[in-house]
Structure 1
């Protein structure tokens, strides 16, 4: 909910690895972008190695550009790079299944 007096609202920033989860709720001002909120959250200091030029980001599972303006209660997600290309993995599984024996 947006506070009508201060025009501020809360959002969450999250990032997870197989070993660690980072979830930070913070208050931002109207017009705040995904990138600004990520920088304000402290996640870049808490988890070294996150590079916003390489790591895709999004809201609720949908990729978005860093310039996306936030709304109240948005959950910003920082995604890890894929280890394997899903299309390539499916192709290899299909080839293996099709082989006799």
Structure 2
């Protein structure tokens, strides 16, 4: 056998050995990086408990519908501009 055949066969053996290596098992849960980023961006994570504004329980259907309908009715009524400013440039 010549030198290139030996080199090629060694290369193929190394590549095949790499394919059969066990895959790493990730220890972090899915979404942990997003939760860590949100925690890092929060100025005071205990603010809701300190101010007594912590939400207890979950949002149920009727409460959610009431909140959404109030939001939609209030957001669709923009305030009128009372002091309109006119700028005339030129003649």
State TM-score, norm by structure 1.
0.25
- The structure with the largest alpha-carbon Rg is 2
Pick the structure with more strand per residue.
Answer: 1
State TM-score, norm by structure 2.
0.27
Tell me which of the two structures has the higher relative contact order, counting C-alpha pairs closer than 8 angstroms and 6 or more residues apart.
Answer: 1
Pick the structure with more helix per residue.
Answer: 2
